[in-house]
Amino acid sequence: MAKPSKENTPITEHLAYLLAQANREINRQLELRLSKEGVPVEQWRILKVLSDGNGHSMGELADAVLLNHPTLTKMIDRMVSDTLVYRVQDPNDRRKVLMFISDRGKVLCRKLNSLAVDQEEHILESYGDKSTSELKRLLESLIDSSN
């Protein structure tokens, strides 16, 4: 009996591939909902992070919304033009810029949240309560174990 080799495992069985595929699909669905308000997923994430009302530096934001710095800077430029967020120089460390959400941003964020909740509920229905929370748990622990 030959020693089992993983070297020609089909791509569809790799964890990296399954994650990419699931992410792509769920993201596509979310995009579809949020497009009702003409907002890309990343902007919703930004608004959501800022909606705690506190100032967040660009670096902090970039980490939180999974974008690298230059991409975030350019996206924020657009959102500032749309008056969804605004910049304030950090008084304690003038290298930093603190981002805040505007009133207009808050209103938009609420609409987007409810569209996103719709999606989560749709997933819960078709995929099941139990599977969803179990999947979330496993993903969190995978992320933890990767640091």
Partner DNA sequence: CTTCAATTCTTGAATATTCAATATTTCCAA
Partner DNA sequence: TTGGAAATATTGAATATTCAAGAATTGAAG
Q: Which residues bind a copy of itself (CB under 8 A)?
A: 6-11, 13-27, 29-30, 41, 45, 48-49, 51, 64-66, 110, 113-114, 116-117, 119-120, 123, 126-127, 131-132, 134-136, 138-143, 145-146
| Residue 25 burial (C-beta neighbours within 10 Å; 0-12, 13-18, 19+) | exposed
Which stretch, 45-53, 66-74, 105-113, 116-124, contacts DNA (CB under 7 A)? 66-74
Binding mask 101-140 for DNA (x = CB under 7 A): ----------------------------------------
Q: Supply the minimum distance, in Å, between the C-beta of residue 45 and DNA.
A: 12
Q: What is the largest CA-CA distance in the chain?
A: 69
Q: Provide the 10 A C-beta neighbour count for residue 96.
A: 16
Residues 13-52 that bind DNA (CB under 7 A): 42
Contact string 80-99 vs DNA (x = CB under 7 A)? -------x--x--xxxxx--
- Sheet holding 56-57: strands in order across? 56-57, 97-101, 85-89
46 near 61, Cβ under 8 Å?
yes
Q: Which is nearer to a copy of itself, 96 or 111 (CB)?
A: 111
CA dihedral 121, 140, 56, 58 (to 10 degrees): -110
| Strand stretches in 2-144, DSSP E | 56-57, 85-89, 97-101
Q: Which of 67, 79, 84, 112: binder of DNA (CB under 7 A)?
A: 67
